[in-house]
Amino acid sequence: MTTALAAPTARYAAVPGLLREVGDLKRVRTADADGSMASRAFVRAWSALFAGADPAEVAGAETAAAVAGARLAGIDAAVLADAGLTPEDVDTVRRRAIDEIADGVVHPATLAWLRAAPAPAEFAVALPPFVGALCRQPRAGATAPGRARLIAEPPEDHGEHCWAVAVYGALLAEDHGADRGDAFLLGLAHHLHNAALPDAGFAGETLLGEHLDGVVDRLTQRALATLPDDLAARVRALLAARADADTPLGATFHAADVLDRVLQVHHHARAAAFTVRAALDDLELVHASPVQEHQNAVLAAAGLLP
């Protein structure tokens, strides 16, 4: 790889905490709609693109919403407005959340557009079937040829993974000199074939052998045929960047993809290792308040303190 494309190792060292919290939106849900915040953002992004929105603008709005959501969870701009906040107050809260988690972590230019980005727009459009199918299609998780698969519950879906790779790509684009709109769109579209092809992981791909490339290409083209011509042409061109990491876009995409795949495994490992002590001590489940002493006395009497 050339010097211009050298991996921004300092950035890679800085971002896992941010990306981990953003990725947790795969597991955040609210009462007003089905699906995780991540899968709903995946659908919303495709709705905007299908309606003709510029990918760079969609990337800015959706990535800013994801970074703010890392700390605000389901309290998004629409919820804040419905609760009576003025547009100026909504912007203040969103910027506060973005700064708390991203300031000093992402590229300065990235932080600037995150802070300036508007909330994602809602578009009422009829979406092609692949969007919903990807939100229903589970990911295989870690598999290896010749070995039994390791099932980690609950599995993420392909919409959630593609959304995460899109957001991570937009967050890393400046570091590689890539266009954030291209990075976001490539992440969003890189598993189009899995709308029809159930995921058997690397082990399944190995068994498909000489048929794999043809299967992936035919099913990808089937999905692309349901998009508007201009959008389909742009996505088709971007998908070629998956071939290697020798271009700014390829390096950005593969960094985002591998970070999400491994952070997902880290999530399952953390969940399996979770303890009561971690909740009480590290996360301060019984947090400081006028009644904290009483609450701790109750837990002690009930034998529930570690």
Q: Is the pLDDT of residue 2 over 50?
A: no
> What pLDDT does 3 receive?
37
pLDDT at 6: 53
Distance between CA 221 and CA 217 in Å, rounded? 6
Instruction: State the Cα torsion 72-74-75-80 to the nearest 10°.
Output: 160
CB 178 within 8 A of CB 248: yes
CA distance 36 to 285: 24
Q: At what angle do helices 248-272 and 158-176 cross, to 10 degrees?
A: 130
pTM for this one? Answer: 0.90
Q: What is the 3-state secondary structure (H, E, C) of the chain?
A: CCHHHCCCHHHHHHCHHHHHHHHHHHHCCCCCCCCCHHHHHHHHHHHHHHCCCCHHHHHHHHHHHHHHHHHHCCCCHHHHHHCCCCHHHHHHHHHHHHHHHHCCCCCHHHHHHHHHCCCCCCCCCCCCHHHHHHHHCECCCCCCCCCCCCCCCCCCEHHHHHHHHHHHHHHHHHHHCCCHHHHHHHHHHCCHHHHCCCCCHHHHHHHHHHHHHHHHHHHHHHHHCCCCHHHHHHHHHHHHHHHCCCCHHHHHHHHHHHHHHHHHHHHHHHHHCCCHHHHHHHCCCCCCCCCHHHHHHHHHHCCCCC
Residue 238, both tokens: 């971007």
Instruction: State the Rg of the chain over Cα.
Output: 21
Per the omega criterion (within 30 degrees of 0), is the bond before 154 cis?
A: yes
**Dist. CA 195–CA 211, nearest whole Å:** 18
pLDDT band per the 50, 70, 90 thresholds, residue 305: confident
Reading the block at residue 80, the tokens are 């804040």
- Taking residues 227-252, report their average pLDDT: 95
Q: Which residue, among 284, 282, 252, 267, has the nearest Cα to 38 in the 3D structure?
A: 267
Residue 279's pLDDT band (cuts 50, 70, 90): confident
Choice among 120-124, 136-140, 297-301 with the minimum mean pLDDT: 297-301
pLDDT mean over 60-67 = 98
CA separation for the pair 109, 146 (Å, rounded): 46
* pLDDT per position as a tens digit, 15-62: 999 999 999 999 999 999 999 999 999 999 999 999 999 999 999 999
8 A C-beta contact, residue 97 and residue 219: no
Name residue 157's beta-bridge partners: 138
Residue 4 has pLDDT above 70, yes or no: no
The two tokens of residue 256 are 């985002």
List Cβ neighbours of 39 (8 Å cut-off, separation of 6 or more). Answer: 26, 135, 157, 159, 160, 163
Instruction: Tell me the C-alpha distance between 161 and 139, whole Å.
Output: 8
In this structure, of 77-81, 140-144, 171-175, 250-254, the range with the lowest mean pLDDT score is 140-144
Q: How far is CA 243 from the centre of its chain?
A: 22
Is pLDDT at 222 greater than 90 in this prediction?
A: yes
The average confidence (pLDDT) of the chain is 92
Answer whether residue 7 shows pLDDT above 70.
no
